[in-house]
Amino acid sequence: MKKRKRRGGGASAAFDRSVFPILLAAAARSTHRRTPHGSDSTVARLLRRALSRSRPSLHPLPASLVAILPLLLTSSSASVAALSCEVLGAAALQSMEASKTLASDAAIADCLARALRCGSQRVAEAACNAIMDLSASSAGREHLAGSAVLQSILSTECSKSASKANKSFYLMVDTLVLMVNSCQVDSLHNLQQDVVRKVLPLLHKIWKNVDKLGSSTDCINSKNQLQRKEHEISEAIFRLSMNIACPAHLEPDEVRRSIFGQSVSDYENFLLNYWEKSTYLVTRKQKNLHVDSVFTSLLNEFDPKTPDTIIQSLVNGIVSCPAIASDELDISSFLREVQGSLGATVKYRQDIRVVRTNDQCDQTSIGYAMEEHFFDDGMTFQDADAFVEKCKDAFKNGFSVALRGMEFRSEKIAAIASAVADLFGQPSVGANIYFSPPRAQGLARHYDDHCVLVWQLLGCKKWMIWPDTKLLLPRLYEPFEPLDDLVDDCGGRMEILLEGDIMYVPRGFVHEAHTDVDVGGFEVNSTVDCSLHLTLAIEVEPPFEWEGFTHIALHCWTEKHWSSPFVKSQEEARTSLFALLLHVAIRLLSKNDATFRKACMVAAKLPPSSSCTTTHSKALRSNQRSFFDEIIKKIDKSCNFKEALMCIGLAVREKNDEPFQWMCWLRHLPQHGGTNDQVDFCNILGALEELLEAVSCNLEQSLTEFTDFKSKFCRCVAYEDACESFEMLLQMYRTTRNQYTRGMLALHRKHEI
C-alpha cells in the first residue's frame, strides 16, 4: 500500500500533470490520421489509467489537460472519445474551480456539442454524463447552458421518440432539461426555433407520462429511469416556449369586427360615448356579419354535444396558472419564485370555481344571497379524472363551472385577448369562461374592478345591471365597497337577455346573471337551456391609467430638466425632491377624481380604415389630448403641497411605506441622472425622509419653490414625449406577459399521445 501511494505522488504526480497529457495528445493525433488500431488502444489505456488514479492525477487540474481535451473529445475512435468524456467528468468533480474552468472553456464546450452529434450512442451517453458532472456546480451549469451544447442536444432530440425509450434516451432528456433550466432567459432567444418546435411535443409527451417513465422499482431497470422530476420537465417546456409565437394569431381589426360589427364608426362611437361610462349591447343582427370566423372558431374550442362533453373539454388536462406580479417585467424573477411548482395541478379559486348562488326568487331585493362553493378554498386535485367527474356531478346539482385564465389555456382565446388588448391600448386582457345549468346563478351579485366584454357563446343568460352611482371608477387592487352603497333598486336597473350577443359592462357596475328561470325540466344529456359565456376582462394597470400617463409625463419632463447643461447640481437635487413631492400630490388628487382613473388610450390601435379620415377617428385622437390638457390644468390648480407633505410625514413617522407601494412601477422608467440622484421607488422611505428634511427647514420657501416647479411643469410638459415613453413601457409589459402566456399555453397544449 505504501508503495502505491508513492507512485501517485511526488515526481510521478508531476509527470501525470505535465508529461502524461502531452503523450495523450500525440496519441490522439495519430487516431485522426487513421493509424493502426494499436494507437487507439494506447490512448484508451492511458485514459483508463488517468481514470483509475483520477484524484492524484487530475487535482489540481493540469493546464495541459485542459488544452488537449478538445482534441481527445473529437477523436475518430468512439472508445477514445467516450473515455475522454469520462476523464472530463472526473476532472470536473475534483473541485468547484476545476468545474468552472472546464465548463467555461469554449473549445471544450464546442467539442462536447460535436460528441453529442457524432452518431455513436456510447459517445453521446458519455458526453451527457460529462455534462451532468460539469453541471454539479451552478457556474458550470450556467457556462454550459450558454454554449453550443444546448442546441446540439435539441438537434439530437428531434429524431427521438418516447415509444423507443432506452437508457440513452432517458439520459439525453435528463441532460436537455437540466441545460434548458440552467440557461439564462435571454440566451434562449438564440435557439433555432424550428428545432425547438419539433422537440416540444416530445417533451410534452414525456411530461404527461413521467410517472410511467420513472416509476420502475426493478433494480435491474433502475438505470433506465428518467431522473428529472415532473416540475423540472414542465419548467423546461415553459422556458422553451416563451419565445415561440403562437400559431393562432388574429389582427385587432378582425376581432373588432367580430365584437362591434362591420362598421368602423360603431366601434369609435362605443369608445367616445360608452367606454367606462355605460353598458353597451351588440346583438348578432347588429354586427351584420355573414360569417363570423372568430365566433365560430371560439365555439369550436368546446365540444357542445352534452354538458359532460363541455365540462370535459373545459377542465380535462388543465394545470395551475400561478399569478405573476402586475409590475414584474423580468420573467426570470417569476421563474425563480415559482420554481418547483410550474405545471402543478389546478388550485381551487385561483384557477377554477364551482359555485352556485341560491335564493334568486326575489330579484328586486337588496338582501344578497351568498355563494356556495362545491370545493374548499385552496384545494388541489391530484387525480385529474376524479376532479372532472366531480365537476360533472356538481353541474347536475345546479353548480356553475367558472374557469379563470382561459387566455393561458386556449390558443384561440389567447389570440382574441391579445387583439382586444391592442384595441384598447393595454398590456393584456384576461379571459374567464362560465358554464351554467338551467335555472341557476353562479356568482352572487357583485361589481368588478375592471371592464368586461361578455360574449354569450351557447344558450342564453339574463343579466341585471345597476349603474355606478358614485361615478368614481374602482381601481385594481383597491378594497371593494359594500354593495348597499352602490345599488338603488328604485331606478336605473337594467335587465338584458343575451343570446349569441356581446355586452359591455363598465367597471363599478353592480351585476348578477342567471339562466332563464322559466324553462321546463333539466335534461341531463342536453345543452338546451344551459349557458356558456366568455368574459374578456380589460384590466387597467396603474401605469396605463391617465394618472399613470401623468406620472410618466412628469418623469420625462424632469429627466429633460436634469439633462440641461445650465442646471446646477444643487438645483438638480431640489428638482428630484420636488418631482417626488409632485408625484405624491398627483396621487392624492386622483383619489377623488375619476378623470385620473380612466384608461389612457393613446396606444389604442384604431382600425386601418380610420386613419384620420372619419369624424369619430379625429375626435378619438383629439379626445386623448384634451384629457391630458384637462388633467394638467387640475394639477396646476389643485395639487396641494401641504397635503402631500402631511402624507409623507405620516409615513416617515410610522416607518410605513405601504401607502407608497403604488410607486414601484416607476422604477421601470429610464433614469439618466447619476447614481446618487436616482430614486429607489421600491424602497421609498429613504427618499421620503430626505425630502421631508429638505423642505421642513423653511416651509414657506419650499412652498414657493414647489409652486414654481409645478407651474413650470404644467407649462412646459411635452405630451409627445410622454406618449413615446408610455408606449415603450407598454411594450415592456407586453413582452413579459407574452412570455408568460406562451409558456402557460405550451403546458396546456394537447399533443397527441
pLDDT tens digits for 98-107?
A: 898 999 999 9
CA angle 30/31/33 to nearest 5° reads: 65
Residue 444 has pLDDT above 70, yes or no: yes
Check: CB of residue 315 under 8 Å from CB of residue 352.
yes
Note the pLDDT tens digit of each residue in 101-140.
Answer: 999 999 999 999 999 988 899 999 999 999 999 998 888 8
Residue 5 has pLDDT above 50, yes or no: no
The verdict on whether omega for the bond into residue 60 sits within 30 degrees of 0, i.e. cis, is yes
SS (H, E, C) 118-135: CCCHHHHHHHHHHHHHHC
Q: Is 424 helix (H, G, I), strand (E, B) or coil?
A: coil
Quote the cell numbers at residue 666.
Answer: 416607476
Instruction: Please give the DSSP secondary-structure letter assigned to residue 187.
Output: G
Check: CB of residue 140 under 8 Å from CB of residue 180.
no
> How sure is the predictor about 95, in pLDDT bands with cuts at 50, 70 and 90?
confident
Which one is predicted more confidently, 563 or 413? 413
CB-based contacts of 21: which residues, under 8 Å, 6+ apart? 62, 64, 65, 67, 68
Count each helix (H run) and each strand (E run) in the chain, helices first: 32, 11
Quote the cell numbers at residue 90.
Answer: 472526473
Quick one: CA torsion of 20, 26, 28, 31, rounded to 10 degrees? -140
Tell the CATH topology of 10-242: Leucine-rich Repeat Variant (1.25.10)
Note the pLDDT tens digit of each residue in 653-696.
Answer: 999 988 898 999 999 998 765 444 578 888 899 999 999 998 98
Q: Which residues of 442-462 are buried (b: 16+ CB within 10 A; e: fewer)?
A: bbbbebbbbbbbbbbbbbbbb
CB-based contacts of 178: which residues, under 8 Å, 6+ apart? 131, 132, 135, 141, 228, 232
Architecture of the 252-320+344-359+368-540 domain: Sandwich (2.60)
Q: What is the DSSP string of 92-112?
A: HTT-HHHHHHHHT-HHHHHHH
Q: What is the DSSP string of 352-417?
A: EEEEEE---S-TT-SSPPPEEESS-TT-B-S-HHHHHHHHHHHHHTTPEEEE--GGGT-HHHHHHH
Note the pLDDT tens digit of each residue in 163-203.
Answer: 566 788 889 999 999 999 999 998 898 888 899 999 999 99
Check: CB of residue 53 under 8 Å from CB of residue 15.
no
* Residue type, position 651, single letter: A
Note the pLDDT tens digit of each residue in 345-366.
Answer: 999 999 999 999 986 544 444 4
> How sure is the predictor about 261, in pLDDT bands with cuts at 50, 70 and 90?
confident
Taking the C-alpha atoms of residue 385 and residue 143, their distance in angstroms, rounded to an integer, is 42
Check: CB of residue 271 under 8 Å from CB of residue 627.
no
Check: CB of residue 101 under 8 Å from CB of residue 69.
no
Model pTM? 0.90
Note the pLDDT tens digit of each residue in 461-501.
Answer: 999 999 887 778 999 988 888 887 677 655 678 999 999 89
From the list 325, 725, 330, the residue with the least C-alpha distance to 541 is 325
First vs last C-alpha separation in the chain: 58
What is the number of residues in the chain? 753
Query: Percentage of the chain surpassing pLDDT 90?
Result: 54
Q: Is 498 helix (H, G, I), strand (E, B) or coil?
A: strand
CB-based contacts of 151: which residues, under 8 Å, 6+ apart? 113, 191, 192, 195
3-state helix, strand, coil in the chain (%, to 5): 55, 10, 35
Quote the cell numbers at residue 59.
Answer: 487535482
**Neighbour tally for 641: CB within 10 Å:** 20
Check: CB of residue 425 under 8 Å from CB of residue 624.
no
Which one is predicted more confidently, 470 or 590? 590
> How sure is the predictor about 46, in pLDDT bands with cuts at 50, 70 and 90?
confident
* Positive or negative: CA dihedral 598, 602, 606, 612: positive
Q: Is 495 helix (H, G, I), strand (E, B) or coil?
A: strand
Strand order in the sheet with 451-458: 280-282, 502-505, 451-458, 531-538, 430-436, 400-403, 352-357, 371-373
Residue 379 has pLDDT above 80, yes or no: yes
Maximum pairwise Cα distance, the chain: 104
Strand locations in 187-326 (E):
280-282
Say what angle helices 20-32 and 63-73 make with each other, to 10 degrees: 20
From the list 144, 139, 142, the residue with the least C-alpha distance to 127 is 144
CA dist 171 → 129, 428, 439, 676 (Å): 8, 39, 56, 51
- Fold match between 10-242 and 252-320+344-359+368-540? no
**Neighbour tally for 632: CB within 10 Å:** 17
Say what angle helices 78-92 and 63-73 make with each other, to 10 degrees: 150
Q: What is the DSSP string of 507-566?
A: TT-EEEEE--TT-----TT--TT-EEEEEEEE---GGGBHHHHHHHHHHHHHHHHHH-TT
> How sure is the predictor about 217, in pLDDT bands with cuts at 50, 70 and 90?
very low
Residue 595 has pLDDT above 90, yes or no: yes
* Positive or negative: CA dihedral 616, 617, 622, 626: positive
pLDDT of residue 396: 94
**What are the residue boundaries of the structural domains of the chain, listed by start?**
10-242, 252-320+344-359+368-540, 544-734
pLDDT of residue 4: 43
Taking the C-alpha atoms of residue 532 and residue 456, their distance in angstroms, rounded to an integer, is 6
Taking the C-alpha atoms of residue 429 and residue 535, their distance in angstroms, rounded to an integer, is 10
pLDDT of residue 348: 94
Residue 714 has pLDDT above 50, yes or no: yes
Query: Percentage of the chain surpassing pLDDT 70?
Result: 82
Q: What is the DSSP string of 316-347?
A: TT--------TT---HHHHHHHTTTTTTPPPB
Q: Is 590 helix (H, G, I), strand (E, B) or coil?
A: helix
Residue 209 has pLDDT above 70, yes or no: yes
